[in-house]
Structure 1
Amino acid sequence: MLALRLARGTHPLVLLRRLMVAAASAGIGFLLLSALGHALAHPEQATGSAVRLLWCLVPIVAVVQLAVAVARTDPAARTQPGLSSVGLGPVGMALLAAVSTAVSCTLGSVFALVAFLGLRGDIGRAPYSGVADMLGAGHPLPYAGLLTLLFVVPVLSGVTTAVVLRPRKPAPGNSPEPSRPAAAEGQPASASAAVSTGLPWGVALTAAGIALGSYAARTTPASSDRLLPLPGRLDTIPPGVVGGWVFIVIGLVLACPGLTHLCGKLLASGRPGALRLLSGRVLQEESTRLGRPLGVLCAVASGVLAATQLYGTALDSTGHRPFGPLTGVGAALVMACATATVLTVALETKGARSDTTAALLRIGASSSLLRRAAALRGVVMLAVLAPISWAVAELAALPLSSR
């Protein structure tokens, strides 16, 4: 009840972000229910139904990441003196943010259920002919399985939000010291650590993932039974290719904070003006917080580019797509969630720099300078990460498209 009362008095932008989480939850809820409907309509294709359900793990992770990012920017997650006086300290506020996130996701799941039942014809109208077979129209629904699938995303989002926002005690010896060079230059130790450890490990894991995928694609016979369907000329993906993509995703997530810090360092190097200095320092300070969502977005973009290339191969060779429209829905959902997460984290970093921004405005910095610095940061990161995503996609898809 308290979460609902706080939602009524929040800013419209905060409500918009919560509605965005609800919409994403509705999308993945519909995909999960579609997998259930396919299993009901085609009991002889148990493997295909399991594969559809397994592919839903990717959008589930994207939706949970977006929900956690929105919860971190929610004003209700911050400790307030009025609520602290009634016993809602840091732990209570983390639980309150988790409940708010679960409520938003539940709202989306309810909307997905209504849309699913409406398309199946279970709510007073005939089923839509185009999706009736896909959703298992005319077959009774198992209520236990229905509720289980609907509550997967709300439970995962709420638990993950509570874990991420839980109060942490600072480790002894980690307090900043004025004599340290990183503190003197305005560069946090975490950002420097990201350059020294995260970037090499990320590059190594990405290269290992590409090598593993290439080796598995070339050594696995095309007629063997493999793990997952692939939208290309192959009917299934070798398990080694799946493992390779897992390494690629982890590598990009580890490498992007270091790349972000390195871009900021290059921007601020030499004899920079106010524009380059401001852009570079912000990138260095926010490299860890902003780099990880950027790494996820790069991994998603690489996957979409690789899948697009393989889809084109399938269209040229067979003239039809191996999957139906739900594949596009899932890909669009993952891409939208990854992009929205990056934008949400960017808003979070902007709010964290509000005191610094106010100080810059007081000493005479213009608003146009701040806007141009933000635009420069975006252009630089796009110029660096777009070619990396394209190269990873080409290298990962090359052995698969050549089979």
Structure 2
Amino acid sequence: MLALRLSLGAHPAVQLRRLLVATASAGTGFLLLSALGHALGHPDPSVSALRLAWCAAPLAATVYFAVAVARTDPGTRPRPGLSAIGLGPARLMAISALTTALSCLLGSALALLAFLQLRGDLTGMPVDGAATDFLAAGRPLPLPAALTLLALVPLTASVAVAMALRPREPVTGAPRAVHAYGRFGAYRRTAALESFGAYGRFGKQLAASARVRRTAGAAPERGGAAVLERDGAAAPGRDGAGDTPGTADGSGAAAGPGSADGSGAGTVTDIPAPAAHTPPSGLPWGITVLAVGLAVEAFASRSGTGSPADRPAALLGLALACVGLALAGPGLTHLCGRMLQTARPGALRLLAGRVLMTEATRLGRPLGVVCAVTAAAYAMASLHEREDASSGPLVALGVLLVAGCTVATLLTAAVESRQARADTTAALRLLGAPTVTLRRAAALRAGVLLALFGPLSLVVAQLSAWPLTG
């Protein structure tokens, strides 16, 4: 009952995103049923199989959008209070997958009703027109085949959500200590070799143990800062008021890393700064795949004079170019953030660039997919003007589905990024940062991304459309 309340009692924006998932599922289900109707009306199986293969792009876009919506659902996010009543990460993952399946099932049911209405099975008045040959109005519709095709979207989306939100083991930063045996079976914590008789030297092992305790007791409370321990304060590693970590007899003769003298008045333990943001590793691969795709298209345009359907290498080159754009998206987003922080950046550029570098993978991946879909849509639109336009409504529906799902996924990723930065934004406002500055930083990020990805998409679209129309 609580799981049902978590799913139904969500914010209206969350319910709107679920309705958008149902709408995308309805469009994809209608395209799958149209492929089935075309197969019933035409005896050639190759053409029907090609129409069914073209439905893979709307199916992938719908599943991609469903996973993005499931990520931003606050009702199924793991929280400490829910684990005590049996709703742990695994149970919440199952609830999210079930919610996605229900949304997609609603869309599939709407697609089936619309298809039956256009065929005339519900009212007995089928729609007339030359472009309705995919309905197969005069033939009986095989219900098992229709239900199998309609089950593809809910099943694939729920499995993808379960794989994306599955509980993962926490990755610890410190490697596991490996004990090595030294002389007389004692544990050796260092790889340095000891000279003869050094193990039994007075005070050597005591100083080593004190150094180990001091290293283990220095907890990294905040990155890049220093923890100051003064006399009289209760600090880890001290046995008395005057004992200082790093000494064997408590006299304070050995100074800590940050003390100015050996008096033991204070010990400063330096904590290493957090690691810099590593750029995503997909940029070189994305550029390579993009260059290979454009080269394959150029070679296909020189080797043949027929239509692109007779030259599958041209379509293969277009697919490789789109995959390259999608792979290069996170790296290009990280590069935009680094460029914003060059040449003496101010607070505004520093804040905008740091956010782009942090959210490079979350924002760059759907942004690269949007650019790839834009380039492919432009190239296929120039090809469609030269080909037969008998299946115009279905092509328009497919393009609208893919473009709408990718743009909606990008907006949903922006919402997820905003939710992930909620604590940082609250801390900045608590420190006195004005709201106008945060809005200007968001506008600056959007402007830089548009300035880079917009011309890049147009250039790749032109280069991809030229071999197809040549």
TM-score (structure 1 length as normaliser): 0.88
What does the per-residue CA deviation read over 1:267-326, in whole Å, with 9 as the maximum and x for residues that have no partner?
A: 1212222221211111010001111111111100000111222234x1xxx7x6353211
- Cα distance between partner residues in 2 of 1:100 and 1:291: 27
Match of 2:351 in 1: 278
What amino acid sits opposite 2:277 in the alignment?
Answer: P
Are residue 13 (structure 1) and residue 13 (structure 2) matched? yes
Q: More displaced, 4-13 or 350-359?
A: 4-13
- Cα distance between partner residues in 2 of 1:127 and 1:291: 46
User: Which protein, 1 or 2, shows the higher relative CO under an 8 Å CA cutoff with sep ≥ 6?
Assistant: 1
Are residue 238 (structure 1) and residue 311 (structure 2) matched? yes
- Cα distance between partner residues in 1 of 2:8 and 2:310: 48
Secondary structure class of the residue paired with 2:282: helix
What does the per-residue CA deviation read over 1:239-286, in whole Å, with 9 as the maximum and x for residues that have no partner?
A: 323332332233212211111011011112122222212111110100
What amino acid sits opposite 2:365 in the alignment?
Answer: R
Q: More displaced, 241-250 or 7-16?
A: 241-250
- Cα distance between partner residues in 1 of 2:414 and 2:454: 18
Q: Is the 1:3–1:100 contact (alpha carbons within 8 Å) kept by the matching residues of 2?
A: no
Q: Is the 1:121–1:137 contact (alpha carbons within 8 Å) kept by the matching residues of 2?
A: yes
Match of 2:169 in 1: 169
Match of 1:308 in 2: 381
- Cα distance between partner residues in 1 of 2:29 and 2:417: 30
Residue 211 of structure 1: how far off its partner (Å): 0.9
Residue 219 of structure 1: how far off its partner (Å): 2.4
Match of 2:138 in 1: 138
> Any residues of structure 2 matched to 1:277-356 within 5 Å, and which?
277-312=350-385, 314=386, 321=389, 323-356=391-424
What amino acid sits opposite 1:327 in the alignment?
Answer: V
What amino acid sits opposite 1:127 in the alignment?
Answer: P
Pick aligned residue for 2:460 from 392, 395, 401:
392
What does the per-residue CA deviation read over 1:354-386, in whole Å, with 9 as the maximum and x for residues that have no partner?
A: 001011111122222212211111111111011
Match of 1:154 in 2: 154
Give 1 or 2 for the bigger CA radius of gyration: 2
Pick aligned residue for 2:340 from 232, 248, 267:
267
Are residue 369 (structure 1) and residue 437 (structure 2) matched? yes
Q: Is the 1:76–1:96 contact (alpha carbons within 8 Å) kept by the matching residues of 2?
A: no
What amino acid sits opposite 1:91 in the alignment?
Answer: A
Cα distance, 1:237–1:153 mapped onto 2, change above 3 Å = farther
Pick aligned residue for 2:288 from 194, 201, 204:
204
Are residue 248 (structure 1) and residue 247 (structure 2) matched? no
- Cα distance between partner residues in 2 of 1:46 and 1:268: 57
What amino acid sits opposite 1:293 in the alignment?
Answer: P
Cα distance, 1:185–1:389 mapped onto 2, change above 3 Å = farther
What does the per-residue CA deviation read over 1:151-202, in whole Å, with 9 as the maximum and x for residues that have no partner?
A: 10100000010001111123454799957xxx9478433xx2x1xx321111
Match of 2:202 in 1: none
Percent identity reads 52
What amino acid sits opposite 1:372 in the alignment?
Answer: R
Q: Is the 1:264–1:281 contact (alpha carbons within 8 Å) kept by the matching residues of 2?
A: yes
Cα distance, 1:178–1:368 mapped onto 2, change above 3 Å = closer
Cα distance, 1:203–1:118 mapped onto 2, change above 3 Å = same
Q: Is the 2:379–2:468 contact (alpha carbons within 8 Å) kept by the matching residues of 1?
A: no
Match of 2:108 in 1: 109
Match of 2:252 in 1: none
- Cα distance between partner residues in 1 of 2:301 and 2:315: 10
Cα distance, 1:350–1:237 mapped onto 2, change above 3 Å = farther
Cα distance, 1:174–1:185 mapped onto 2, change above 3 Å = closer
- Cα distance between partner residues in 2 of 1:3 and 1:393: 46
Match of 1:215 in 2: 299
What amino acid sits opposite 2:120 in the alignment?
Answer: G
- 5+ long unaligned stretches in structure 2: 176-219, 225-271
Secondary structure class of the residue paired with 1:321: coil
TM-score (structure 2 length as normaliser): 0.76
What does the per-residue CA deviation read over 1:47-83, in whole Å, with 9 as the maximum and x for residues that have no partner?
A: 2111111000011111100000000001133113443
What does the per-residue CA deviation read over 1:103-131, in whole Å, with 9 as the maximum and x for residues that have no partner?
A: 11111111111111111111124011135
Cα distance, 1:83–1:178 mapped onto 2, change above 3 Å = closer
Pick aligned residue for 2:277 from 185, 188, 194:
188
What does the per-residue CA deviation read over 1:208-234, in whole Å, with 9 as the maximum and x for residues that have no partner?
A: 111122223432462xxxxxxxxxxx2
RMSD between superposed Cα atoms in Å: 2.3
Residue 388 of structure 1: how far off its partner (Å): 1.0
What amino acid sits opposite 2:165 in the alignment?
Answer: L
Q: More displaced, 109-118 or 271-280?
A: 271-280
Secondary structure class of the residue paired with 1:236: helix
Match of 1:78 in 2: 77
Q: Is the 1:186–1:285 contact (alpha carbons within 8 Å) kept by the matching residues of 2?
A: no
Q: Is the 1:306–1:393 contact (alpha carbons within 8 Å) kept by the matching residues of 2?
A: yes
- Structure in which a larger fraction of residues adopt helix: 1
